[in-house]
Amino acid sequence: MNQIQRIAPISDADAARLVSDTALADLAGQITMTPAGPATAKRAPRARRRRWWLAGIPAAAAAAALIAAVVVAHTGGPGGAGSTGGTVQLRPDAHALAFTRVGRYIDVIVRDPLADEASYNAEFKAHGLDITLSLVPASPSLVGTVVEISTSGPDENSITTITAKGRCWTGGGGSECPVGLRVPVGFRGQASLVFGRAARPGEQYESTTSASAPGEVMHGLNYVGKRVSTVLAMLARRHVTVPTYRDDGRALTPRQVPGTWYVYDAVPWAPQQVLLFVGPVPSHAYGAARPAPSPSPSG
């Protein structure tokens, strides 16, 4: 088995060195915050933290600091639970990007979130910028947020974000959204940016958050620990369907899941579709045996 050992791509120890204690603790903290049921709406820090780390990526990388950005348009806001992917206004005749010279900077706003990558890249190039931009389908509360960024080159610290309040609703509380980026005139670095855009009907999301975050289709539903049949009835009233389930990571089709099973969690899958995490037993944390929450002494 020696030779197989020799092609192990990475050891556990080396894998552990790739990530900071902070990132690991962050994940554990976010996971243990998930059983929230009705308290889900209070998960506001997510969006903020997300942007915060975006600013910190480069530190981990080797340098840089950076960006965030764009997409002017928007989800239906907190009341958008019933919205589908059609909330983005297309402007087929307009340029995909808007460039405005502001002193020593150029402000770039995405005007057409469904333009193809070549259009964006061509427009950046026409302005002498080595910046690539792509958009991936995201669930409503993440539309307009940054999914991924990477930068390099001599001016990598010099791109900043333009944010605006109330332009979108991110992950449960953040209303100050990145709507554009500010690039210094003569920027010589490279940057590649991926933003969340609204999905087309039937198109699977590539970036999601909790299905009960404000703006998502299950916002306000108390479904955790309920039976599958009960949750399906709730969803039917919102015209939401469940194309696929997960049982301990195992993908199951709707026919394989008894209505008597229990729902543990849900994430947006595609417009008006969610994925449910289910199992045959009520989870200890949510089931009938759960002790009633007692009021905290501090209120």
Partner 1 sequence: MLRVSKGATLRYPQPGGPDERRHRFEELYAANCGPILGYVLRRTDNPDDAADVIAETFLTAWRRLDAVPPGDEARLWLYGVARRVLANYRRGERRRAVLADRLRAELSAGYRPAQYTGELAEFAAAFRSLAEADREVLALVGWEGLDRGQAAAALGCSRNALRIRLHRARRRLADACARHQVTSPSEPVSVTNGESA
Residues 62-81 within binding reach of partner 1 (CB under 8 A): 62
100 contributes a contact to partner 1 by CB under 8 A: no
**Shortest Å, Cβ 254 to partner 1:** 16
Q: Rounded to whole angstroms, what are the CA distances from 251 to 113, 243, 247, 266, 275? A: 32, 10, 7, 14, 10
Q: Which of 36, 37, 41, 53 binds partner 1 (CB under 8 A)?
A: 53
46 contributes a contact to partner 1 by CB under 8 A: yes
249 contributes a contact to partner 1 by CB under 8 A: yes
Half-sphere exposure of 129 (CA within 13 A, CB side): 29
SS3 for 78-142, per residue? HHHHHCCHHHCCCCCCCCCEEEEEECCEEEEEECCCCCCHHHHHHHHHHCCCEEEEEEEEECHHH
90 contributes a contact to partner 1 by CB under 8 A: no
153 contributes a contact to partner 1 by CB under 8 A: no
107 contributes a contact to partner 1 by CB under 8 A: no
Considering only 28-36, 99-107, 120-128, 182-190, which stretch makes contact with partner 1 by CB under 8 A? Answer: 28-36
CB atoms within 10 A of CB 107: 16
**Shortest Å, Cβ 112 to partner 1:** 22
Listed residue (104, 288, 136) closest to 205, CA to CA: 136
61 contributes a contact to partner 1 by CB under 8 A: yes
Considering only 79-87, 122-130, 155-163, 277-285, which stretch makes contact with partner 1 by CB under 8 A? Answer: 277-285
